[in-house]
Amino acid sequence: MTTLTGRHVRTISGYVATLLAYPRWYIDREVDFTNCHLQGRFDEEDTVCAACHFGRACRWLSLHRLAPTVDTPLPELVDALQTAVTYVRRECADATGHPRECDCDTCEWLQEASAFLRTHRHKT
């Protein structure tokens, strides 16, 4: 796996960057930007964005639409991951058809990302 450093060495930052790819895809797929006057580019000062049902997801996606760079600090990556886990978990809980032992891509990502956050919560 190529990491943020461009080498084939596994780093914590590279691992978190890899984990962040799934929520980018998930949110981009789940959020309907069809009627968005900003085409999914969240604006803090826009009253329409503030009232939009997809506001939190759109805000996250706007901040993290691009893959992180090698200069992105690990605490920022971990914070983005925590926010993504919270959002995806809430959306997954609202959806039906996810039994306790579900092995869909979303549930597997949630398990992996949550495990990482549990083991690294005091290390950043």
Query: Cα(first)–Cα(last) distance of the chain, in Å?
Result: 23
Give 20's contacts (C-beta < 8 A, 6+ positions apart): 64, 67, 68, 77, 80, 81, 84
Cα–Cα dist 33/62, whole Å: 12
Quote the pLDDT of residue 1: 47
- Where in the chain are the domains? 12-31+68-120
How many C-alpha atoms does 53 have within 13 Å on its Cβ side?
A: 6
User: Do 75 and 66 contact (CB within 8 A), yes or no?
Assistant: no
User: Do 33 and 39 contact (CB within 8 A), yes or no?
Assistant: yes
Give 24's contacts (C-beta < 8 A, 6+ positions apart): 61, 64, 65
pTM (two decimals): 0.79
pLDDT band at 97 (very low <50, low <70, confident <90, very high): low
Span 39-58, pLDDT tens digits? 888 898 999 988 888 888 88
